[in-house]
Structures are given as structure tokens and as C-alpha cells.
Amino acid sequence: MSQAPERSWLLAVPDAQVVAGMAPKSGSGGEGKSHRKRDRAFFVEVAAVVAMSAAGLLCPQGVGLWYRALLTGFVGIGGFVLIGAALVTLVCERQPERLQGKRRKPPLLLREVRDTTLAAWIAACFLAWPLARLWAGEQTGLVWTLAESGGGLRTFLQTGAALLVLDAWLYLKHRLLHTRLLFPFHRGHHVFRDPTALAGFAVGPVESVLTFWPLSLLAIPQAVHYAPLYFSLVVGFIWLNFYLHCGVSVRLLESTLPRLLVNTSAFHNRHHANAEVNFGEAFTIWDHVCKTREQDRRRDG
Ligand SMILES: [Zn+2]
Ligand SMILES: [Zn+2]
């Protein structure tokens, strides 16, 4: 039916292939190519972690300061995310009604924690740049009063526009990660077919780089961020991500969030059950626009 060239690297990976990739290695000859692809992806992932961690050697505010900022950010981000996700998981795993029905296999909790910890390290690498500037007494993009951020209306409009742009990027990034070219860097997140909240940030280093780079914008004094609103949105996004992956639905949230075009557990859980639909991360706007919601795909046959 599709006229796209068979070998195009931009072709989306079908869900059946995602499931097949989760099966234990069979050792058959046909597997060789995909293992080579995975080895190459692993090499790029390691290179990304090394490059992000070594970049601090170039910090003009001081190498020691940057690595102290990195460790502080890592403990802060990792601790906050892992403790919050563990609490949500503890509550949700006791619920009798799960979106995908009764679990057939135990959740991959240790793998979720491992991948989240590595993602927190990459996020901290980005945060270390503005933190080092702040500790060195230099100006950053973070301001604490509305007067400094240009007034209430301007702050509100700029934040809304930035959210839309950022969400468009997150959607595009996610679609690109489902292409044959980039799926090896996203495959790990789809190992969690029926995830827990601990999988919310369990993504590989390359995907972490593509997701968390906006944290480094805080290092630019001209990129003004109104701190109370910025931190509220960051914390809100983190808790939303726990909900998207917790595996259960809360009636109140499912009836209110979709009206604001905000993503929900019921919506994102379908992406884990069928990797061909529902790519939105914070909002579902771009799934509506690009007709990639599960119901759009069903209608199109
Ligand atoms: Zn997910
Ligand atoms: Zn995905």
C-alpha cells in the first residue's frame, strides 16, 4: 500500500518489530544485522555520556566548580525523580484495575531505575552550566521577579509560546526516534511494554540529550526564565510523566487533562502497548494535528 522506498531510514518501525526486538536473542543468522546495529547504537550512547561528562573540562568558571555543580544536580534531579516515581509506583502497583489488565510479567523495576539514573546524569550535565555560572556570581537566565521578566502579561505569553515550541520539538523528536535510523536509541524505553512511573524518564543517553538540552538555556542571561513559573512547570512535567507511565488511570485527571490537550496515562500507555500511535509527550496537540492518535489510525484503516 505504501509507496515509500523500502530502505528509507525515515520509515517508521512497525510495532511488530518493536515486540520482536524485545524477545530474547535467538542466535539465528538473520539477527546478526540488528545486533550490529545495536552495537553501533551502544557505542554512540557511550560516546554521548563521555562527551557530556568531559565537556566540563572546558568550563570557563572553573573545572572543579562545574563538576561540583554536576554532582549536586545529579543528586538533586536523580533523588527527586527516583523517590517521587518510587512512591507513585508503590501506590499504583497495588491498584486492582490496570490499563493493560493484570500483569503477566513482573515490571522491570531495576532496569527502569538504572536507565532513569543515567538520564538524570545527562540532565545534570546540562544543568551544571547555569549552576556553575550562578555559583561563580555571574548572571544567568533565571530571574525571581515579574518586573525583571518583563511584566505579568509578557511572561505569560512568552512562557505559553515557549511551551508550544518545546512541545512541538518533543513530538518531532519522538517521531524521529521511531524511524529505522534512530529507533535503536529509543528501543530501551519500549522494553517497558507495561511500564511503571519509574520508567517515566528511563530513556537512553542520546534521547536524554535530545530531551534535556533546554536546561542549559538557563546559562544564557538573555534567555529570561521567571523562576517561580519555570520551576512549577518543570516539577509539573516530572509528575505528569510519572502519571503517563504509572499504568493506571485516575478518573478526575482523565476527564480534565484532555480538555486542556494535556497528555494522560490512558493516552501514553497506548503508545507503550502499540508503538505506532500517540507520540505526544507533554501535550497531545501534535497527535491531533498530525493524525497520529490511535483513533485516527483506526479510522484510516
Ligand atoms: Zn513512555
Ligand atoms: Zn516511543
User: 268 C-alpha vs ligand 1 centroid, how far in Å?
Assistant: 6
User: 280 C-alpha vs ligand 2 centroid, how far in Å?
Assistant: 9
User: 245 C-alpha vs ligand 1 centroid, how far in Å?
Assistant: 6
Match 490511535 to its residue by C-alpha cell: 294
Ligand nearest to the CA of 277: 2
Q: What are the start-end ranges of the H helices in 136-248?
A: 152-177, 187-190, 205-212, 227-245
Q: Answer yes or no: are the C-beta atoms of 280 and 286 closer than 8 Å.
A: yes
Has residue 23 got a pLDDT over 80?
A: no
pLDDT in tens, 232-252: 999 999 999 999 999 999 999
For residue 58, give every residue at least 6 positions away whose Cβ sits within 8 Å of its Cβ, in sequence order, or none. Answer: none
pLDDT in tens, 30-50: 566 677 778 899 999 999 999
pLDDT in tens, 77-130: 999 999 999 999 999 999 999 999 988 889 999 999 999 999 999 999 999 999
Burial 26-51 (b: 16+ CB within 10 A, else e): eeeeeeeeeeeeeeebeeebeebbee
Q: What is the pLDDT of residue 301?
A: 61
pLDDT in tens, 142-165: 999 999 999 999 999 999 999 999
Give the model's confidence band at 265: pLDDT under 50 very low, under 70 low, under 90 confident, else very high. Answer: very high
Has residue 27 got a pLDDT over 70?
A: no
Ligand nearest to the CA of 182: 2
User: 267 C-alpha vs ligand 1 centroid, how far in Å?
Assistant: 10
Q: Answer yes or no: are the C-beta atoms of 124 and 77 closer than 8 Å.
A: yes
User: 294 C-alpha vs ligand 2 centroid, how far in Å?
Assistant: 14
pLDDT > 70 in the chain, percent: 93
User: 203 C-alpha vs ligand 2 centroid, how far in Å?
Assistant: 10
Q: Answer yes or no: are the C-beta atoms of 119 and 208 closer than 8 Å.
A: yes
User: 96 C-alpha vs ligand 2 centroid, how far in Å?
Assistant: 26
Q: What number of helices (H) and strands (E) belong to the chain? A: 12, 2
| Signed CA dihedral, 266, 113, 240, 297: sign only | negative
Give the model's confidence band at 26: pLDDT under 50 very low, under 70 low, under 90 confident, else very high. Answer: very low
Q: Answer yes or no: are the C-beta atoms of 163 and 177 closer than 8 Å.
A: no
Domain ranges for the chain, please list them.
Answer: 34-299
User: 178 C-alpha vs ligand 2 centroid, how far in Å?
Assistant: 6
Q: What is the pLDDT of residue 5?
A: 52
User: 272 C-alpha vs ligand 1 centroid, how far in Å?
Assistant: 6
Ligand nearest to the CA of 171: 2
Q: From CA 123, how far away is CA 48, in angstroms rounded?
A: 12
User: 190 C-alpha vs ligand 2 centroid, how far in Å?
Assistant: 6
User: Does an H or E element contain 143, and which?
Assistant: strand 142-143
Has residue 8 got a pLDDT over 90?
A: no
User: 285 C-alpha vs ligand 1 centroid, how far in Å?
Assistant: 17
User: 183 C-alpha vs ligand 2 centroid, how far in Å?
Assistant: 9
User: 187 C-alpha vs ligand 2 centroid, how far in Å?
Assistant: 8
User: 89 C-alpha vs ligand 1 centroid, how far in Å?
Assistant: 15
Q: What is the pLDDT of residue 32?
A: 65
Helix axes 265-273, 227-245, angle to 10 degrees: 50
User: 281 C-alpha vs ligand 2 centroid, how far in Å?
Assistant: 9
User: 291 C-alpha vs ligand 1 centroid, how far in Å?
Assistant: 19
User: 192 C-alpha vs ligand 1 centroid, how far in Å?
Assistant: 8
Ligand nearest to the CA of 279: 2
Ligand nearest to the CA of 281: 1
Give the model's confidence band at 6: pLDDT under 50 very low, under 70 low, under 90 confident, else very high. Answer: low
Give the model's confidence band at 300: pLDDT under 50 very low, under 70 low, under 90 confident, else very high. Answer: low
User: 200 C-alpha vs ligand 1 centroid, how far in Å?
Assistant: 6
